[in-house]
Structure 1
């Protein structure tokens, strides 16, 4: 693994090929460290987590947020839901109508409170990915109405405080709106995109004063001159977006160091926090770990969790980077941080190009080779005689990784210690002795989605009821409140997992839009989320004009059967779709409407229900029975 004996240091000094690196605080400190975080949302990415039963749900949360246990995250960023498809699903708005206000919809409130239970010091950030249609009168892009969108976000902040006792630390909204609401302590992050806002800030003193943090997405560890000239905090406020396998771990380990070494970014936030959505949605298998089987309780703690721990368990927000950070001569990087009270943490990574590529942006070529590194501690750290060691090795040859292993303390002689570094390794060398590789007994084994599933959509307006179906609710009128216990009204499409080939699915449906309205029930759907418009499967449609159609695609171009149904708006119907082998059959109110439509592809997939375009419909008594 590594060598750090006194004899080895002396040998290296007098005869072997070693590179020397100085760790010194006498020349001043670098930027303040703001922490490492995860992003829940930006597409309903934590949707299934709340469905887990105990004790598995709490175990997963511990691996994410509990200090000195797992990832020990310092920051949680959440989506402010907008009732819109934002990648892998939808998150409900707290204001579905102009006069609406409900601060118990969705699961982000719950998640923020769970994070705070484990780490009261965790920082909370909110960001909208979309807005409900009433903002902008349903015809204009919402950002053309800055005061309305700002008030919408401020209302969310009010709800977080008043109903959940949650203080939001950072937001992306107008400074004046926050100040008028009394939130002068909440910092502004701008602009959660690229670096272009930096040039505008240099030209506009008012804008520069309003912004506390320059936040960018997927910077590739590189910053721009204009951003540095603002002298603001620089954050990679959304990064990673990579599968949580070992290459993803290599990507994450590399950028956690090099976002500061190359770009002086003092915080990195992972999109996403956890892969708690169905794997065959967009970006399936991203996140720091996986929890996408609430029906079984199965979850997987993957290597990105432990790459995170190498930093988060040994440096806290408020620590400072030293100026003596940089690249290793033969590839890799090192950072050093201090709490200015005598504690020191050094994080070293030697990730190779092949094994650390993030999904975006493209990674320019570089070389990494085995090397010997000798570190010389000076200034406040010259007196240290030993340091704690934590070690990880991503072994792509044997597949036998070493993850976050505590090793024997390293001896420091006259301020010197040496490491023999191999490729694809991470070391933490630290004075902090509270690190821990948390563990629980193995969770239940993975299993298929249950053969039989039903949902009557029984919810209350002011409670969170876990569900397997991903449902996008809409604003409810007073008359609809009395009906919600019996049915759910939703636009567009939703789906439920079922990868078995042969099954029967049924649902009660009501078309609300006259003449042009229509709804579908589907099986073997091969795509969802942001890719749903390209989905193939078996789609059984009925329309308000008295017809039906069976198509092999959601766009309705590949027609398998069609004819008269007698259906119209405002009437409840029971649709039943059965698919077996290459044949599909449909019933209406228990009577055969069509049969033996030939289905060659796909051979399996989701079951789904939805409407034409964004029209409204009502659904009740959803059932799936698989063979």
Structure 2
């Protein structure tokens, strides 16, 4: 971890534009103003010539799906929901995304959640399932030119059902996709691109059938993308003419390396020889702030290294709960729909440096792209020209540069020699005022001008206009207070009830059964889907709420529609990657009357803490009221108002609530309620796993690491999810969410940046950001200021709380 902090010593510099008065001026570029003595690399000469060749630009986009990452966006209040949508899709405002890739739901987990299928059982199509249709409609309303791209991660279990798990590469799947295309048409959405099975290889004959089906169903204009996996598909297409003819776009994932810095983004000779568009059809998986530099490199270098003409970021937004694995990836972070709080990430602005200055259909100018000074470490640049060969935009990144770079521009071949506008984002700065800034306008002299480029920045030099930076600001964070209740009678924005996010299965509001009137929550998927993840426990469950909740009771009515077991979840804490485990308590109740209180962990190991049975079976077709009460370490189970048993366990002290079914059964729930327990106060030190070190508040504001001395400055009070010292709260400074944001003492205000969720491994997670309280680089020096950082379970992130 020590290397990560070196970047903090980098100094921010401004950029100086040098207007060239003659041909020789390019060889005499001066250092930037105010940076006396700063070395400047040799000049990179860039000729912008509209007559030179280049491939067609297909746009920069992002993915909604691959696991529930957009789920909470629909539940945001206005005006914050519209603000977030504007920052994503509105031209000239934020990311201005040009492609939106949509998950075709399959009732199964596909990274950080499950998205519902339109056809849980064969022949019954419901075009209103889920929230992707809503999101696509919102995107199209803001940008009528946006392109939609559909892709499947998992699929309902009836598809190709020749045995366990079904068969994705079947005619059933092709038919299913045609039904999905029909639903898109019902929602007035034109799908421009359609893929196969995400990251699961390819079947050439299946793609040929898909192409034929699109044509025969009237969707001939929809282009087929294959195979949303590796370059191996290009090798197969090179030797199979029928397969090649069926595929319009070669889409690969992470050509720059997975979760890397995206410094090298090659394709293959076979792929380039196909004469088809090559796309990075999934890239990203990067933090909304800390990953912006990688995205800036990737958008440029995909084309420079591999001639890829589209960069599609995963995911579009981190509108998901902080206890999920990829909780900060995307353009922005929106994990508090009840408060309306959100943060716009740097990734939004590095994306805007391309999307706000070039449109799909423009062309690259190959001769006006490359690496500054001929060295990859200096930075990269690409140039795109308009369809009428008049306007142009050059996008430059200097992520790895250690000194200022100088570039000279010569405009020719019919491109505009008029005024040039320069925009800049300083990624070394944590101040949003330094991101996506219109810095200067200039008029070339004799078609020439120059630019001095400082390290750690993205620049766009353009003749276009109409760009802008959104000015909306969110409200402060706030906890979701208890009591809380949902009788499922009030319609939500989508078919999912407010704040609930499915992890497997498909929970939606529907007419109640069992003789009850009104609307209930029903698990709709009746069979095990064709899965994308490989978790050893894949039963349906849905969860909601605030991770700082501690002592409370979760109650719900349950209807056993068939012989089955339902569950209430409490203190839902960290989820393992791709749902491969969950820190949580479960009250499980069967129609037979058998019940148990169980604890699960992030590897899906279950421990039974208490078990028993009611005196008579509960039976099917009737409603029963279940409750799980958590007060400190005492867990109590109740059925129909009678306490049937209890257990003592202190593994989890905080977390959300949820509902589940232990197998794919279509059971129902109603009258979900959360009631607060008795707040419990604990007082004492916060000790680090590093020997002899404690969290110390002797400074008036900063919280530091210090030798444990038992003094008053090291005494903290823990109440539910807050940690206080002398009446002030442990607070993430400025509601920050980025790695390295310091913590401090601040007046308690109930914000999520003052809420902390203890994890079973000893880490302490910020409710707002999902990052952990961290001792930088495992320092042991007294006075080291504590901060938040990506959770990694290291000794410098493990704490013993009072």
TM-score w.r.t. the length of structure 2 is: 0.71
Query: 1:542 and 1:526 mapped to 2: Cα distance?
Result: 21
CA shift in 2, pair 1:522/1:5, >3 Å: same
The residue number in structure 1 matching 2:126 is: 102
Query: 2: distance between equivalents of 1:532 and 1:626?
Result: 28
Q: 1:489, 1:121 → 2: CA distance?
A: 37
Match of 1:625 among 649, 672, 675: 675
Aligned to 2:637: 586
Q: Residues 462, 276 of structure 1: CA spacing in aligned structure 2 closer, same or farther, 3 A cutoff?
A: closer
- Report Cα offsets for 1:551-576 as digits up to 9, x if no partner: 22265642222223334441432111
- Structure 1 residues 378-430: Cα deviation after superposition (integer angstroms, max 9, x where no partner): 3334x72531110111125x767610100121342333322222211011000
State whether structure 2 residue 535 is matched by structure 1 residue 504. Answer: no
3-state SS, counterpart of residue 290 of structure 1: strand
2:569 to 522, 533, 537: 522
SS at match of 1:558: strand
Q: Once the 2 structures are TM-superposed, how far is the Cα of residue 109 of structure 1 from its aligned partner?
A: 1.2
Deviations 1:253-277 (A, max 9, x none): 1111111111111111111111111
Residue 484 of structure 1 deviates from its aligned partner by 8.2
Deviation at 1:241, TM superposition (A): 0.8
- Corresponding pairs, count: 605
Aligned position for 1:394: 427
| 1:374 match | 408
- The residue aligned with 1:540 is 587
Counterpart mapping for 1:159-198 below 5 A: 159-161=183-185, 163-172=186-195, 174-198=210-234
| Whole-angstrom CA distance in 1 between matches of 2:344 and 2:66 | 22
The CA RMSD measured in Å over matched residues stands at 2.7
Distance 1:103 1:482, change over 3 A: farther
CA contact (8 A) 1:512 1:569 kept: no
Supply the distance in 1 between the matched residues of 2:162 and 2:149 (Cα, whole angstroms): 27
Change (3 A) 1:519 1:529: farther
Higher relative contact order (Cα pairs below 8 Å, separated by 6+ residues): 1
Tell me the secondary structure at the aligned position of residue 109 of structure 1.
helix
CA contact (8 A) 2:614 2:644 kept: yes
Structure 1's 612 and 501: CA in aligned 2 closer, same or farther, altered over 3 A?
same
Contact 1:510/1:569, CA 8 A, preserved across alignment: no
**Correspondence 1:289 to 2:332:** yes
Contact 1:104 1:462 in 2 (8 A): no
Describe how 1:458-607 pairs up with structure 2 within 5 A: 458=489, 464=495, 466-471=497-502, 472-473=505-506, 485-490=518-523, 492-499=540-547, 500-514=549-563, 517-528=564-575, 531-553=578-600, 555=604, 557-566=606-615, 567-570=617-620, 571-595=622-646, 597-607=647-657
Q: In the aligned structure 2, how far is the partner of 1:8 from the partner of 1:529?
A: 61
Q: TM-score, normalised by structure 1?
A: 0.90
Q: Does the Cα contact within 8 Å between 1:12 and 1:18 map onto a contact in 2? A: no
Say whether the 8 Å CA contact 1:538–1:599 is kept in structure 2: no
SS, match of residue 59 in structure 1: helix
Q: Residue 576 and residue 260 in structure 1: after superposition, are their counterparts in 2 closer, same or farther (change >3 A)?
A: same
Match of 1:550, SS?
Answer: strand
CA distance in 2, matches of 1:505, 1:291: 25
5+ long unaligned stretches in structure 2: 1-13, 31-40, 197-209, 257-264, 524-538, 678-802
Matched, 1:346 2:394: yes
Moved more, 84-93 or 31-40: 84-93
Q: Is the 8 A contact 2:159 2:168 kept in 1?
A: no
Match of 1:433 among 465, 474, 479: 465
Identify the residue that residue 236 of structure 1 maps to in structure 2. 280
- Identify if the C-alpha distance between structure 1 residues 563 and 463 changes in structure 2 by more than 3 Å, giving closer, same or farther: closer
- Correspondences of 1:21-170 after superposition (within 5 Å): 21-25=45-49, 28-137=52-161, 139-161=163-185, 163-170=186-193
Contact 1:459 1:465 in 2 (8 A): no
Moved more, 257-266 or 448-457: 448-457
In structure 2, C-alpha distance between the alignment counterparts of 1:195 and 1:401, rounded to whole Å: 40
Residue 312 of structure 1 deviates from its aligned partner by: 0.7
Q: Which moved more, 1:558-567 or 1:164-173?
A: 558-567
- Cα deviation for residue 282 of structure 1 reads 2.1
Decide whether the 8 Å contact of 1:332 with 1:368 is kept in 2: no
Cα deviation for residue 522 of structure 1 reads 2.0
Task: Give the conservation status (yes or no) of the 8 Å contact 2:278–2:307.
Answer: yes
Residue 3 in 1 paired to residue 52 in 2?
Answer: no
1:470 Cα deviation after fit: 2.0
